[in-house]
Structure 1
Amino acid sequence: MHIYNFLDNDDVKVISGKGPFKVAEWQRDLSVPYGGAIAAYFAAEMSVRRRQLVCELDGRVGVTLQAGAMQWTVGSIQATTGVKGVGDLFGKAIRGSVTGESAIKPEYTGAGTIVCEPTYRHILLMSPQAEMGGTMVINDGLFLACTSDIQHRAIMVKRPSAAVAGNEGLFNLGLSGAGTVALESPVPASELAVVDLEGDELKVDGSFAIAWTESLEFTVERSGKSLIGSAVSGEGLVNVYRGRGRVLLSPVASLTPNPNAGSGTV
């Protein structure tokens, strides 16, 4: 099996890789129409480019993708729902309903290549065990793919009433294991602020956290000790992380659901 004029294309650059994953970035988009050429040129100058996740399977470890993320495959690759029975289906359905992720994520096994739909978001490749100390908790809408040796589970926010008041979800997706996770992020890895807490606390006004260590206590609280104090500060409710662990922050872009994830559009 040979693939020509893809990763070896002059307009494509592999910008990162970890485990079976590579991130291909299109340096120029020559498919744009005449009227969009100027916008496409300046977008590329600001690193606003299409990126695709490429998965190289060797027949040993499979990958799990977000529903609808796959664009094309080549080789001896089999796709399954990843459901291992009625109980597993029920558990995944419950987890999907509370975390905002798709309930059924297809799993791919075999030997060959999988290419995901293009996205203008940045693709982060991370290891929960090596980089986040075990289990990493991620915000809604960021999951793109992971190796099949990564475990998924729903993790509940402390103080659910405050989470509802602050328009935060009651549950987040937890990912654990020694494998690799691919996330869709509004900012590149070079712009992520890394905060390592050592028994202290971090307060964030808004959804700016990409991921955090499960060992941290995550709550949604008033910014002041009283309602009057919160009103005076002008902040209201904030996300609070306490304990020992790591938080990855997107300091220049708030996290909002990506309506075009897997669609190949901006």
Structure 2
Amino acid sequence: MTNIDPFEVVESESIPGAVLEVVQYKALKGSDDLDVAEKVFFANQADIHLKMIRVKLDKSELLIEPGALYFMKGALQLESSAQGGIAQGLMRKFMTGETLFQSRIKGTGEIYLEPGFGHYLLVNVDNDALIFDKGVFHCASAGLEVSAKMQQNVSSALFGGEGFFQTQVKGSGVVVLNSPVPVSELLMYDLAAGEKLSVDGNFAFVRTAGVSFHAEKSGKSLFQSVTGGEGLLQTFTGPGMVWIAPTQGVYDKMKLQNSIANLSHAQGSMGTRT
């Protein structure tokens, strides 16, 4: 029997010992259940694809969240441990919501992670660190470590909408992140030293470690902020990169009942306000 690859590669990053790919089914062919077949039909009509992460290892390793493995083939070994030790694992779990133990797959072969209709962002980290919210981490290649990162100031912790701790990936390698919107809709800003980016909402979801983050009141008065739907701004100051998802608020609003009609006129914040 000849195996036919049903996938098409959407995005790929290669480093020594590993190739990390976002692959998707070209089209789902349906089900013997009519309700499921109907949903598959509309997904195909809307050009929504079932995706997964495929990793090809050559005497290397991959760090994943427990439960993320779907299947693997080759001379591969699965191990679970608290990366950085129990203390680091406990901090990561209770401060960021990430799991205490993380799974590491070592060897040579192909790894497939759990499929879904979500979106993935591949970032090649070169002796740097990325900071992001809980639930964003998906997997990482060898050379990267995952830990908890405390906010730099009180304003960002109390009013920034991200809590006291976020997740940090540090080192050199490729990390796969869960993106709230299609990657084509993301904006990535490379901020110069002292350059600011202010966001009215929590749709700035990844930044490099050199970017400082704090919350500040908008230019309006308190009364104007409350009545106008604007309040505290998430402010990022360079140097470094920030990824934002401007369409996230639109999709969140569309999930609400009768929200399509409300989108015909812009009404201030898109519902992602902190």
Which interval holds the TM-score relative to the shorter structure? 0.7 to 0.9
CA distance in structure 2 between the partners assigned to 1:225 and 1:77 by the alignment: 58
Aligned to 1:63: 62
Higher strand share goes to which structure?
Answer: 2
Q: Secondary structure at the match of 2:195?
A: strand
CA shift for structure 1 position 63: 0.3
Aligned to 1:248: 243
2:97 pairs with 1:100: yes
Q: Which runs of 5+ in 1 are unaligned?
A: 257-266
- After superposition, the Cα gap between the structure-2 partners of 1:203 and 1:212, relative to the gap in structure 1 and judged at 3 Å, is same
The percent identity for this pair of structures is 29
Tell me, yes or no, if the aligned pair for 2:30 and 2:40 is still in contact at 8 Å.
Answer: no
Aligned to 1:201: 196
Q: Which has the higher contact order (CA 8 A, sep 6+)?
A: 1
Deviations 1:105-159 (A, max 9, x none): 1011011111111011112211122xxx821112221111001211222222233
2:15 pairs with 1:16: no
CA shift for structure 1 position 3: 8.8
Aligned to 2:233: 238
Deviations 1:208-229 (A, max 9, x none): 1131111111112322476345
2:214 pairs with 1:215: no
Aligned to 2:162: 168
Map residues 147-186 of structure 1 onto 2, 5 A cutoff. 147-160=141-154, 163-186=157-180
CA distance in structure 2 between the partners assigned to 1:4 and 1:210 by the alignment: 39
- After superposition, the Cα gap between the structure-2 partners of 1:3 and 1:168, relative to the gap in structure 1 and judged at 3 Å, is farther
Tell me, yes or no, if the aligned pair for 1:22 and 1:54 is still in contact at 8 Å.
Answer: yes
- After superposition, the Cα gap between the structure-2 partners of 1:184 and 1:162, relative to the gap in structure 1 and judged at 3 Å, is closer
- What is the Cα-based RMSD across aligned positions, in Å? 2.5
CA shift for structure 1 position 165: 4.2
CA distance in structure 1 between the partners assigned to 2:37 and 2:23 by the alignment: 21
How many equivalent pairs are there?
Answer: 245
CA distance in structure 2 between the partners assigned to 1:142 and 1:47 by the alignment: 24
Match of 2:118 among 108, 116, 121: 121
CA shift for structure 1 position 73: 1.5
2:80 pairs with 1:81: yes
Q: Secondary structure at the match of 1:81?
A: strand
CA distance in structure 1 between the partners assigned to 2:156 and 2:204 by the alignment: 17
Tell me, yes or no, if the aligned pair for 1:224 and 1:233 is still in contact at 8 Å.
Answer: no
Q: Secondary structure at the match of 1:90?
A: helix
Tell me, yes or no, if the aligned pair for 2:55 and 2:112 is still in contact at 8 Å.
Answer: yes
CA shift for structure 1 position 34: 2.0
Q: Secondary structure at the match of 1:134?
A: strand
TM-score between both structures, scaled by the size of structure 1: 0.82
TM-score between both structures, scaled by the size of structure 2: 0.80
CA distance in structure 2 between the partners assigned to 1:100 and 1:222 by the alignment: 28
Tell me, yes or no, if the aligned pair for 1:128 and 1:179 is still in contact at 8 Å.
Answer: yes
